[in-house]
A and B are shown apart, each in its own frame.
Chain A
Amino acid sequence: MKSYRILAVSALCCGLLLWAAAEAPAQAVVKVGNILPLSGPSASVGLQNKQAQDMAVQEINDAGGIKSLGGAKIQMLYADSESKPEKGVAEAERFINTEKVHILTGAWNSAVSYPVSAVAERYQIPFLVPVSVADKITEQGFKYVFRIAAKDSWWTRDQFAFLKDLQAEFNTKISTLAFVYENGDWGKGFAEGWKKHAQAGGYKVVLDEPYPSTATDLSPVVQKIKRANPDVLLLTSNAADAILLTNTMAEYKVKPKAIIASGGGHADPSYLKAAGKNARYLFDIVEWETDVNKPGAKETNEKFKKLYGYNLTGESVDAYAAMYVLADALERAASTDPKAIRDALAKTRLTKGPAMIVGYDAIEFDESGQNKHAALVMVQVNDLGKGLERITVWPKASRRAGYKPVFPIP
């Protein structure tokens, strides 16, 4: 009897194998392979990216697809990296070799994007990175990597520029800083930038504290912040720890003059819901906000909110815009040859269309594949009588009309 069970299990496996082998032949479509963390600890952001891309692709296809390719439709293929580099690489290999995708996109985790960029380079398949902010990704001398988001050195640069403007605007001197960041690729990258800028700006760093983002209790870290008593606290956190930090800081009544976060967990839609009024007055750096003064932004956000029940985030707008950058490149390339797409991408200068809901006026890649216009805005979380919202405050040109930032935190 038992041997039958073995046979059944092996048959199941063979079935899976065959199923994988029997893929439908290619049609008149442009295949885009997208690697995202859809399960595991970063599943939440993975899903946000996926939904934004789904919406963009739907729009592009509904509008008649890629006209220069006879109305070819974009077909999105998704794969789950579980946030693991080796799985991301395996999926990239599969996309390129089996699915014969014309372009790769993803992978959110910088740790997955590095090795995937090397795979893409080897097969000469363009790899369009909406968000993975580590500087290194576009600094490997690769020809096939393009990034929409700003790199992390720009994020920290702008955080400090904002800090300077803030002091001038409110005529308040800030002299001490505390750095608290998750102990990972992303947090470490930011902390390095912060240290450099703090030294250049003559600030005194009173606390430099990495913490494990798997920590179950962050009150010890919060106590350290409280005792260091900095003027300004800079944070880099994933969602779970961002929520925990904010709530714990409120409990311990830690009130620096300002708290400046770095997007990521603080920009996660579940953050505002779970932190509630404790998040009030927090400054956060993002690439995009719902109140951005760009035509179409409001409508796009409303459409997205209707579909998925939450606001677009800076990261999902990057993912959304990336699809239009791709459509534009395909339109110009008039070919699905990866090399042609790559050359078209390199010559991108996108100034109109739905992608222009981004906070700046053009998407253009430099030599390294970095979007050179990518710009960042600072927002403040506040309640203006309609519940908590994120309000753009910096640069001043983008500030929401009539809003005056609250500083220092009352």
Chain B
Amino acid sequence: MNASTATATSPLRPPGSAWPSRAPLLLLLAVALAVPLFVRSATYLHILILLLLYAYLTTSWNLVGGFAGVLPLGHAAFVGIGAYTSTVLSLQYGVSPWVGMIVGGFLSTLVGVLIGLPTFKMRGAYFALATIAFAEGLRVMVENIDRLGPFLLNGPRGLQIPPLELGFGRFMFAEKEPYYYIILAMLVLAVGITWAVSRSKLGYCLAAGGEEPEAAQSLGINVARVKLVAMAISSFLTSLAGTFWAQFTLYIHPKSVMSLDISFEIAFIALIGGRGSIAGPLLGALLLRPVSDFSRIHFGDTLPGLHLVIFGGVLILVMLYQPRGLQEPLTRLYRRALARSAGMRERG
């Protein structure tokens, strides 16, 4: 399969010059960088940090869930591994969470590849269920283990990070701004990696393998290996978010950092935004996180549960009207606006 056909079939490479498709992303980045200058309220910064965290998680997930054409529903396992690795290392051995973050990343990569080896042979429903079972199984294990060799995991009770030493080296801050910029930097990194992957040979092979595995195979692409590479990158990146999560909330337990809810929310965001595209996870997070946060804030006290009804309703509505996610129509809208302005310039 050559590059041009991949471009035609793959949603991740919109045709046309690179600049206009990158412009909105750059604009978004500029806005994101400036946000803390205007948003002084820690409440909104907190909500925005969670938004970016989920955008980051979904972008990382997208490498497998979007480009490789499968539906992983167990990425919470990697969040958990990252959170636990860095927290255990920093609590028990005084290792900086930044180092723990990288260690956790490699550990997740190892686990991700091990789990990918057999599961990537499966398709559709089986793959989704296998990843759920893997993540839930891991959660149950952690809940049953108080001490793993020399490491104290504390079972279902989780680990608390005392906010004693603040500072960059300890990955702990009194203010929200540092967290905001760290997760933003991580997001930019993840988007950059996704962008690089999507333009590389790996990206083409992934897209080909995801859409027509048999055809790709017959063209000599080792689909399973390509997917494994994607899984390795994806689990590494996802794991970093686990460390961020732990340092941001300062308390982790299996039911929070390894819960199925995380895995599901990531998938929701990706599908609502449009999976397999670079902007999809960002758009999805921009839509879904506010819906979930503000509906909880406004109905959580008087009509408990209504916020999740609304959340479910939004999911269904978007899927009904935009089964490929919001990214597609928005890109079209943007293109049309661009074409119109270009046309006007020519005429003018």
Alpha-carbon distance A188/B317, docked complex (angstroms): 43
- How close is B147's CB to chain A, nearest CB, in angstroms? 13
A-B residue pairs in contact (CB < 8 Å), sample of 15: A5-B322, A6-B330, A16-B294, A39-B308, A80-B296, A80-B301, A86-B245, A91-B297, A94-B47, A111-B158, A111-B255, A115-B250, A183-B143, A183-B155, A183-B156
A13-B291, A94-B47, A212-B143 given; name 11 further pairs at CB < 8 Å. Answer: A6-B333, A9-B318, A9-B326, A16-B298, A20-B294, A86-B249, A90-B50, A93-B42, A96-B42, A97-B46, A183-B155
A17: chain B residues at CB < 8 Å are 290, 294
User: What residues of B have a CB within 8 angstroms of the CB of A97 in the complex?
Assistant: 41-43, 46
CB of B294 within 8 A of CB of A86, answer no
B290 and A114 contacting across the interface, CB-CB below 8 Å: no
A-B interface, 6 closest residue pairs, ranked by CB to CB distance from nearest: A80-B300, A78-B301, A38-B304, A98-B43, A16-B294, A115-B251
Binary CB contact string for chain A from 135 to 174 against chain B (1 if under 8 A, 0 otherwise)? 0100010000000000000000000000000000000000
B162 at the interface (CB under 8 A from A): yes
Give residues in A with beta carbon < 8 Å to B.
Answer: 2-3, 5-6, 9-10, 12-13, 16-17, 19-20, 38-39, 43, 46-47, 77-80, 82, 84-87, 89-91, 93-94, 96-98, 111, 114-115, 118, 121-122, 136, 140, 183-185, 188-189, 212
Q: When the two chains form their complex, are residues B296 and A13 in contact, meaning their CB atoms are under 8 A apart? A: no
Contact A185:B157 (CB < 8 A) given known A78-B301, A80-B296, A80-B301: yes
On whether the beta carbons of A19 and B296 are closer than 8 Å, the reply is no
B48: min CB distance to chain A, Å: 11
Interface residue from A10, A38, A93, A111 paired with B301 (Cβ < 8 Å):
A38
**In contact, B304 and A43 (Cβ under 8 angstroms):** yes
Q: A90 near B321 (CB under 8 angstroms)?
A: no
Is B130 close to A, CB under 8 A? no
CA distance A115 to B287 in the complex (A): 27
Known: A114-B160, A140-B162. A16 touches B332 (CB 8 A): no
Query: Hey, which chain A residues are within 8 Å of B47, CB to CB?
Result: 90, 94
Q: Complex Cα distance A20/B318, Å?
A: 23
B24 contacts A by Cβ under 8 Å? no
- Main secondary structure on chain A at its contact with chain B? helix
Query: How near does chain A come to B293, taking the closest CB pair, in angstroms?
Result: 7
Residue numbers in B under 8 Å from A84 (CB-CB): 256, 259, 261
When C-beta atoms are compared, the residue in chain A nearest to B256 turns out to be A85
Residues in B whose Cβ lies below 8 Å from that of A96: 42-43
A43 to B304, alpha carbons, bound, how many Å? 8
CA distance A297 to B144 in the complex (A): 42
B14 within 8 Å of A (CB atoms): no
Q: How far is the CB of B84 from chain A (nearest CB, A)?
A: 15
Known: A85-B253, A183-B143. A6 touches B329 (CB 8 A): yes
CB neighbours (8 Å) of A85 from chain B are 249, 251, 253, 256
Interface core residue of B144, B251, B302 (most chain A CB under 10 Å)? B251
User: Complex Cα distance A38/B300, Å?
Assistant: 7
The answer to whether residues A78 and B41 also contact, given A9-B314, A13-B290, A39-B305 and a CB cut-off of 8 A, is: no
Bound CA span A360–B143, Å = 37
Please name the residue on chain A nearest to B154 by beta carbon. A188
Pair A19/B298 contact, Cβ less than 8 Å: yes
What's the Cα separation between A136 and B290 when bound, in Å? Answer: 33
Nearest A residue (CB) for B293: A90
Cα–Cα, bound, A38→B297 (Å): 12
Closest Cβ–Cβ distance, residue A337 to chain B (whole Å): 19
Chain B residue with Cβ nearest A110: B157
Which A residues lie within 8 Å of B20 (CB)?
Answer: none
B96 within 8 A of partner (CB)? no
A90 near B46 with CB under 8 A, answer yes
B293 contacts across to A, CB distance below 8 A: 90
Q: Are B322 and A118 within 8 A (Cβ)?
A: no
Query: Which residue of A3, A38, A86, A140 contacts B329 across the interface (Cβ within 8 Å)?
Result: A3
Cβ of B7 < 8 Å from any Cβ of A? no
Query: Residues of A contacting B155 with CB < 8 Å?
Result: 183, 188
Q: Given the complex, which residues of A lie within 8 Å of B300, measured CB to CB?
A: 38-39, 78-80, 91
Residues of A with C-beta under 8 A to B174: 122
Residue among A6, A10, A114 with the most chain B CB within 10 A?
A6
B307 CB-CB contact with A under 8 Å: yes
Q: What A residues does B295 contact at CB under 8 A?
A: 16
Query: Pick the contact of B251 from A5, A77, A93, A114 — CB < 8 Å?
Result: A114
> Could you say which residues of chain B place their CB within 8 Å of the CB of A19?
294, 298
Which residues of chain B in 305-348 are interfacial with respect to chain A, using CB atoms and an 8 Å cutoff? 305, 307-308, 314, 317-318, 321-322, 326, 329-330, 332-333
Complex CA distance for A38 and B304, rounded to whole angstroms: 6
- Say yes or no: A86 contacts B50, CB within 8 Å: yes
Q: How far is the CA of A90 from the CA of B51 in the complex (A)?
A: 12
Tell me if B94 counts as interface (CB < 8 A to partner A): no
Q: Decide: A16 and B253 in contact? CB cutoff 8 A.
A: no
Cross-interface CB contact of A87 among B290, B296, B330, cutoff 8 Å: B296
Is there a chain A Cβ closer than 8 Å to B15's Cβ? no
Smallest Cβ-Cβ distance to A192: which chain B residue? B157
Tell me if A2 and B329 are in contact (CB < 8 A): yes
A5: chain B residues at CB < 8 Å are 321-322
